[in-house]
Amino acid sequence: MAALRKSILLLLLTGYTMFAAGPFVWVAMMSLRTTTEIHHDHFGFPDPAHWNKYPDAWFNSNYATYFANSTQIVVAAVILVTLIGAMAAHCLARYRFRLNRVIYFVLFSTIIFPPQITIISLFQILVQYGLYNSKIGLMLVYVAIQLPLTIYILESFFARIPSDLFDAARMDGYSDWEIFWKVAFPIALPAITTTVILNFILLWNEFLFAVVLITEEANRTLPLGIQRFIGDTQEDIGMIATGLMIAIIPVIVIYAFFSEKLIQGMTAGAVK
C-alpha cells in the first residue's frame, strides 16, 4: 500500500517536474544549436553541440558588458532595498508614532499601480535630474519599485519579534541603532534572505523599466541584450536562447544556494 502510494506520488512529481522544466530544457538545448538547425527541427538535440556560441555571445555580442551592468545595478539595488526596507519595516513595526499606519498604508498602496502608469512620469523625473540613460538612475528606480513589497514582507516579520527582546537589549545598555543591528536584523535574517532572493530574481529579469530608461549600448542590462537579437524582420532564435541561458545561470546559482533559507523564511511564521 505504502509502496503504491509512493510510486503514484513519484509519478506525479516526475510529471510536474517535466512540465515545469520542459521549456527550460528546450531553451538550454536551443542555446547550443544554430538558428538554421532550429528552423529545420524545433525540438532536435544539440548534435553537434555548438559550445562556441557562449563565448561568441559573451565577447562578440557585448554580453560581458550587459552582464556587468546587470550585476552592478541589481546588486546595488538589492543592497539598498534590503537596508532601507529593513529599517523602515523595523520602524513601522516597533515604534508608536502618529501616522504610523497611514504611512504604512500609503507605502503599501503603491503596489496596486501597474508600472505602465508610473513609467512616463518616472521618465520625466529622470530626464530632469540628469539620471536618464544612466545605471544609477535605473538602480534608483529599481529601489523605489521594490521597496513597498519588501517593507510589507519584512514589517509583518519584525512585528512578530516580541518587544520584550528590545526592552531586554535596552536594559543591557544598547541604543536603538545598535538594537536594530544586533537584535532585530539577525533575528529577521530568514525573512530578509527571502526578500533578497525575491528582489534579485525580479530585478535581474526586469525589462520594462530598463527598456524605457536605458538606450545607450554601454548601459544596457541583460534582458535588453536579448532584444539585440530581435531584428526588424528576423529573429536570431539560436542566439536569443544562448543569451537567455547566460542571463538565467546566476538566478539558478543564487536559488540553489539560498533555496533552503528561502523556504525557511517563507514558513517561519507557520512553524512558530
Partner 1 sequence: MAVVSLKDLTKIYDRGHAPAADKVSLEIGDGEFMVLLGPSGCGKTTTLRMVAGLESITAGELSIDGAVMNAIPAKDRDIAMVFQSYALYPHMSVKNNLAFGLRRRSVSRSEIERRVVSVAETLELTPFLQRKPHALSGGQRQRVALGRAIVRDPKVFLFDEPLSNLDAALRVSTRSEIASLHRRLGATMIYVTHDQVEAMTLGTRICIMNGGRVMQVGSPLDVYHQPVNTFVAGFLGNPPMNLLPATVTDAPGGCTLAIGETRLEVPGTRMPAHSPGADLTFGIRPENVRLGEAPGAGFATLAGTVTQIEALGAETIITAGLPNVAAPLTARVAGDGGPGVGDRVGFAVDLGAAHVFGPDGRAVTQS
As a whole number of angstroms, the distance between CA 178 and CA 254 comes to 30
Nearer to partner 1, 172 or 235 (CB): 172
CB of 90 to partner 1, least distance (A): 15
For residue 26, what is its C-alpha cell?
528546450
Please say whether the beta carbons of 142 and 221 come within 8 A: no
CB of 72 to partner 1, least distance (A): 32
Nearer to partner 1, 114 or 186 (CB): 186
CB of 234 to partner 1, least distance (A): 56
CB of 146 to partner 1, least distance (A): 26
For residue 259, what is its C-alpha cell?
533555496
Q: Which helix (H) or strand (E) holds 185?
A: helix 185-187
Nearer to partner 1, 17 or 175 (CB): 175
φ/ψ (deg, to 5) at 117: -70, -40
Nearer to partner 1, 178 or 235 (CB): 178
∠ at Cα 270 (269, 272), nearest 5°?
A: 70
- End-to-end, the C-alpha distance of the chain in Å comes to 34
CB of 254 to partner 1, least distance (A): 23
CB of 197 to partner 1, least distance (A): 20
Footprint of partner 1 (CB under 8 A) = 162, 164-165, 167-175, 178, 182-183, 186-187, 189
Nearer to partner 1, 154 or 183 (CB): 183
Counts for the chain of helices (H) and strands (E), in that order: 14, 0
Nearer to partner 1, 19 or 177 (CB): 177
CB of 129 to partner 1, least distance (A): 41
∠ at Cα 199 (196, 202), nearest 5°?
A: 145
Rg of the chain over all Cα atoms, to the nearest angstrom: 23
As a whole number of angstroms, the distance between CA 121 and CA 142 comes to 15
- The burial of 234, by beta-carbon neighbours within 10 Å (0-12 exposed, 13-18 middle, 19 or more buried), is given as exposed
Nearer to partner 1, 107 or 169 (CB): 169
The angle that helices 189-204 and 237-271 make with each other, rounded to 10 degrees, is 160
